[in-house]
Amino acid sequence: MKKELYLIISTLIPQDSLGNTVIGGSTSDNVVSQLSGQKPLVVYVKKGAEFRWTMILTILSYISVSAISFKDDSTNPIALSLETTTSSTDPFNILLITSAGVISGFFTSTNGIKGIIPSKGLKYENSGNFYLAMQHYGTQYFYFLKFGSALSNKNTIFNLKWPQTQTQANAVVNDEQASYYFYGGILKDSGGSFYTAVVNVYYTGAIQQIFTIRNSAATQQFSIKSLDYLQDTSASTRCLAACAEDGQNVLILKLNVNAARSSISLGSSTDINYYASSLNNKIFSGWMDLSQVLYVGSITTFTSEALTTTSFTKNIGWLMNINPSESEFTITNSLSSPQSMTNEPLIYSTLTSTFVNTTATTSYASRTSTSAVTYIVPQILTTSMKSIITPNIGNKIYTIGSTAMIITIPAFTLQQSCLDVIFKYSSNISDVSGFVTFVASTREYTVFSSNQEYNGIYTIKMLGRINNEQNTEVSFKLIMIGDCSYASITSTSYNPTLSSQIGTYNLSFVGILLYPLSDGEINPKNETIYIKFQNEWWEKLFD
């Protein structure tokens, strides 16, 4: 048996509400899975590129994951759709899986309808309904539908098809209230003319608008493959960002959405541009949030930072979650500047709805399924591990009410030589936020407070992460000492007995003091005495 692992990456789900990511694809690694042939593969990655689990599915003869969607405003469950071959009799399907990798439901068409959900064509909204853009195997139609939220049986709420063939629905997004749904793809009218199209549909299935763009000078029109709905709450504006392709070029456009979300229009002529490309250049998927950039794709050759080249007989899937300038992956291809379509003969119009209801899909029944959860990630090539050297940090003492104290942690270093290393620092100071601030860029803590209630001992940790996602941390104790009255004692013998009255507490020490020639301090707080001998603090509880 060949030991081969490869992902045919078909989708990268942006993120759930906690920043976790699910990647879908397929694998033929029969050594790991003990399965025969190509199987659907799901990889669950926590925020920060921590791989949690991978799952290989064996359900009928499905070969790959075609689409994935997190439930709105949630991390659990996750909806997937599986792809089969065009010659297979396996029906169109929806699979539900938990964030722990447990299958909670699998639904297939009771009428055996066959087709594929494109990577951007599955929307799992908060109430549990599914909105789908589907492509039939065989004759192609712009086709979309909605399932109900019942887990036991997914009843079809609407099922609409454009009557003209050679049309496609590829993507679906919804507005902020989950009332209006926007389906993107390509349409054809009864006269045979094609249009780049976005169809606005109310949640009941009522068609609100069919917005189209047509380049009258082009033979091949663009088909929308990806949609995103954006809202600027401060300006009370909304728009759709769309990515389309015509088999040769990539089109990027912005469409305005009115306040009622029932109408779409093009804003400025500069809101539509295209990139000239070639058939060999493909972008799989990407996503950016406030903390990281995510890329997904496949490679057949990999060159490490040590300039060692590794080649594979199959495509190897990869996920990169940091800025390319900080990454061990180097993307050498570059795109030219986008070209404006201002001078193109573009026609913007709305088509009259001729969508027809179809009863070809009446309900979706649960099917049994099996899976194999495996941990195959170590076989995926990763960067070499580095030895991070951390500084030694001693305990820090702050007297409450005094001037601010600055604590600067020395920078981490690497044992190995690495010319492009970048350290990023963070510190969770939520437990001490009342009197401690942290500046990551300078690794600087500032301690300041006049509140005697903060008296105590606290542990503070600083984490350093390098640009292959390795990390380590240092910690130190911060001792907050009250500035109230205290007693100073000086020991003159090895067996002293000391009694002192402070407030309402009677203090008594009997025994040998470790450093008879040094000063000590007693500071009662919350039935605790802190005693300092030669710059070391000792704690004694009242009996």
Model confidence pLDDT, tens digit, residues 172-230: 999 989 999 999 999 999 999 999 999 999 999 999 999 999 988 888 899 999 898 98
Q: Residue 298 belongs to what domain range?
A: 1-116+282-332+355-383
Q: 302 with 362, same domain?
A: yes
DSSP 8-state assignment for residue 452: G
Q: 4 with 101, same domain?
A: yes
Q: 408 with 437, same domain?
A: yes
Q: 459 with 413, same domain?
A: yes
Res 37 pLDDT > 90: no
Domain presence at residue 93: yes
**Paired strand residues for 218:** none
* Rg of the Cα atoms in the chain: 31
Q: 4 with 37, same domain?
A: yes
The per-residue pLDDT for 464 is 92
Strands, E assignment, 321-400: 339-340, 346-350, 356-357, 363-366, 370-374, 388-389, 396-399
Q: 472 with 493, same domain?
A: no
Q: 367 with 288, same domain?
A: yes
Domain presence at residue 464: yes
Q: Do the beta carbons of residue 98 and residue 89 sit within 8 Å? A: no
The per-residue pLDDT for 498 is 43
The per-residue pLDDT for 457 is 94
Mean pLDDT throughout 359-374? Answer: 56
With 0-12 CB in 10 A as exposed, 13-18 as middle and 19+ as buried, what is 207? middle
Model confidence pLDDT, tens digit, residues 313-339: 666 666 665 554 555 455 555 556 667
**Other C-beta atoms lying within 10 Å of the C-beta of residue 95:** 26
Res 100 pLDDT > 60: yes
Q: 363 with 301, same domain?
A: yes
The per-residue pLDDT for 16 is 75
Model confidence pLDDT, tens digit, residues 385-409: 678 999 999 999 999 999 999 999 9
With 0-12 CB in 10 A as exposed, 13-18 as middle and 19+ as buried, what is 524? buried
Model confidence pLDDT, tens digit, residues 250-285: 888 889 999 999 999 987 767 777 766 544 444 456
CA distances from 249 to 246, 259, 265, 278 (A): 6, 32, 23, 7
Q: 4 with 102, same domain?
A: yes
The number of distinct structural domains making up the chain is 3
**Paired strand residues for 309:** 303
**Helix (H) or strand (E) segment spanning residue 451:** none
